[in-house]
Amino acid sequence: MSKEFKLPVLAENVDKVTVTKLFVAVGDEVAMDQPVLEIETDKAAAEVPSTVSGTVTEIRAREGAPLRVGDVVLVVKDNGAAAPAKAPAKKEEPAKTAKPAPAPARTVPPVAAAAPKAVAAPAPASAPVAAEPETVETESVEETEAPVRRPAGSPVAASPSVRRLAREIGVDISEVPGSGPQGRISLDDVKAYSRRVNTDVRGASAGMVAVSVPLPDFGRWGETERIAMNSVRRRTAENMSGSWTTVPHVTQFDKVDITELERMRKQYGKRVEAAGGKLTATAIIVKVLAAALKKFPQFNASIDMANNEIIYKRFYNIGVAVDTDRGLLVPVIHNVDQKNITEIAVELNGLAERARERKSKLEEMQGGTFTVSNLGGIGGTAFTPIVNPPEVAILGISRASVEPKFVDGAFVPRTMLPLALSYDHRVIDGADGARFLRWVIEMLEQPFLLFLEA
């Protein structure tokens, strides 16, 4: 019997990828969860494991060609038992042993409503997740009911495979309405929920394209060339259009005196380099922002207009914009509040390198709660960064310069760093924006205050 392996949902908002490498050929034996191809999205590259086992009889994916979610990657002939895993071609490792046959489906007891309780902080996105045994999905068409939303604090009924899919595409399983008996969640429920929560932004982006001004025939005035957008540029255009049309932006500007900070940065730079990082102003500011987000929780939030709610996050993941040959990428440093500046500098250096080399992992590009964009290395005195939804704020950093500053009755040269804070005015008031920016500036000018106030 032949079985097809189709490209699964890989991450939120990702419906089209490019195949960069195939790890199997016709005639090879593949096992469940064995990587069979490498793909590249607009944000990262990743290996895709097989969900079928057997002998490969046909490969429909081609290196360098696009592939959409649901497209058939390969066809295998079922050998009646799980085939031993074959190590990917790019790795010299021993073959993996075959996984045991799936365990029989477990009977899930009715979900009892629990009394509402305080919302606990989600598990850190970077924390390792223990492997769970696979179970067979047993929901049938006859058993399927209208999706049921659980009361707050109620246990979630879902198999390990469903929970794994939710983790991989960045969906909070506790938020997904279940259509099975007693609200049990199926794979289709997770996919439907993921599509639904992204409809607004996609609709806004589509609206921008629909009402764009018709272009004239530029060829009347001279030679032109049309080049198709790459996936990063296309997604950036869609997301920024959606943000600009749905988020009421406010941008506030200020300058921070980093004269003393620069002295200390140069003094201790070698120590951080020995650890494998680079002590940059960005790394220091990221650490200060972690403390600022705790003091001003409205900046570490998201807005849910459909339910008229503001979601305050108890985790602190800061994205840092990286300039690459494909466009702007935003890898995320997770749990910044739990790391020192040296650890942040080392991780930031690794994230930036992988982004430029197209080796970023999908989980490194997800889960951000605040973003930093530093153009100081290029130049400029100020700019207005655009909020990256579902976040509500972003900090822009321009190039520092030596300026005269009036201190103790005289003008003295000081190194001044321009900052620009953009935020969603539906969540953050102007006075809060000013307080946030001034607090960050005070901590950078007088780092000892972090020990007193943060």
Catalytic site residue from 6, 202, 399, 425: 425
Say if CB 45 and CB 362 are below 8 A apart. no
Type of residue found at 79: N
pLDDT for 102 equals 45
CATH class of 2-77: mainly beta
pLDDT digits (tens, 9 = 90+) for 301-355: 999 988 889 999 999 999 999 998 888 899 999 999 999 999 999 999 999 999 8
Q: Active-site residue 334, yes or no?
A: no
Residue 398 region by backbone torsions, left for phi larger than 0, else alpha for psi between -120 and 50, else beta: beta
Other CB atoms within 10 Å distance of the CB of residue 416: 16
User: Which helix (H) or strand (E) segment is 251 a member of?
Assistant: strand 249-257
Say if CB 186 and CB 178 are below 8 A apart. yes
Q: How many CA atoms lie within 13 A of 388 on its CB side?
A: 25
Which of 152-166, 361-375, 403-417 is the least confident region? Answer: 152-166
Give the residue among 288, 388, 265 at the shortest CA–CA distance from 337: 288
Say if CB 194 and CB 201 are below 8 A apart. no
Measured CA to CA in angstroms, residue 253 lies from 383, 395, 397 at distances of 9, 10, 10
Please enumerate in sequence order all residues whose Cβ is within 8 A of that of 154, keeping only pairs 6 or more positions apart, or say none.
111, 112, 113, 114
Please enumerate in sequence order all residues whose Cβ is within 8 A of that of 24, keeping only pairs 6 or more positions apart, or say none.
30, 36, 37, 56, 59, 74, 86
pLDDT for 199 equals 58
261-267-270-275 Cα dihedral, nearest 10 degrees: -50
pLDDT for 123 equals 40
R_g of the chain, CA atoms, integer Å: 25
* DSSP symbol at 404: E
Give the residue among 249, 242, 246 at the shortest CA–CA distance from 433: 249
More confident position, 107 or 159: 159
- Burial of residue 85 (number of CB atoms within 10 Å: 0-12, 13-18, 19+): buried
Q: What is the mean pLDDT of the chain?
A: 80
Q: What band does 12 get if pLDDT is binned at 50, 70 and 90?
A: low
Q: What band does 84 get if pLDDT is binned at 50, 70 and 90?
A: very low
Say if CB 424 and CB 388 are below 8 A apart. no
DSSP states of 283-317: HHHHHHHHHHHHHSGGGGEEEETTTTEEEE-SS--
pTM: 0.60
Residue ranges per domain, the chain? 2-77, 138-199, 235-453
Strand order in the sheet with 54-59: 2-6, 72-77, 54-59, 29-30
DSSP states of 70-93: T-EEEEEE--SSPPPP---TT---
pLDDT digits (tens, 9 = 90+) for 183-238: 889 988 888 887 777 654 455 444 444 455 677 888 888 888 888 887 777 877 88
Helix (H, G, I), strand (E, B) or coil at 279: coil
pLDDT for 349 equals 95
Say if CB 139 and CB 159 are below 8 A apart. no
CA–CA distance, 304 with 162 (Å, rounded to integer): 25
Q: Give the mean pLDDT of 45-52.
A: 83
Choose from 124-128, 150-154, 191-195, 274-278 the range with maximum mean pLDDT.
274-278
Question: What is the CATH number that goes with domain 235-453?
Answer: 3.30.559.10
Say if CB 382 and CB 398 are below 8 A apart. yes
Q: Give the mean pLDDT of 392-406.
A: 95
Say if CB 47 and CB 22 are below 8 A apart. no
Strand runs labelled E in 269-409: 301-304, 309-312, 318-320, 322-324, 327-329, 332-333, 370-374, 393-397, 401-407
| Domain 138-199 grouped into CATH 4.10.320.10 | yes
Q: How many CA atoms lie within 13 A of 134 on its CB side?
A: 10
